[in-house]
Amino acid sequence: MFNFGFNRKTIIIIVVVMAVFWIATAGINGILSVVLLAPAVLIALTFHEFAHGYVAYKLGDETPKLQGRLNLNPIKHLDPIGTIFLVVAGIGWGKPAQIDPRNFNSKYSISKAEAIVAAAGPLMNFIIAFLFTILSFIIIKYTSLIQSLSGDWQYVAVFLLQSVITINIGLGVFNLIPLPPLDGSKVLSHFLPYNARQWFYNNQQIFMIVFLLIWLTPIASNVISPAITGISNGMGWLVYSIFGVF
Residues classed as catalytic: 49
Is 205 within 8 Å of 162 (Cβ atoms)?
A: no
CA distances, 222 to each of 191, 214, 225 (Å): 27, 10, 6
CA distances, 119 to each of 104, 169, 174, 188, 223 (Å): 16, 14, 12, 10, 19
SS3 assignment for 66-78: HCCCCCCCHHHHC
Q: Is 233 exposed, middle or buried (0-12, 13-18, 19+ CB in 10 A)?
A: exposed
Is 138 within 8 Å of 131 (Cβ atoms)?
A: no
Q: Is 140 exposed, middle or buried (0-12, 13-18, 19+ CB in 10 A)?
A: middle
**What stretches of 59-109 show up as alpha helix (H) in DSSP?**
63-66, 74-77, 80-89
Backbone angles phi, psi at 151, to 5 degrees: -55, -50
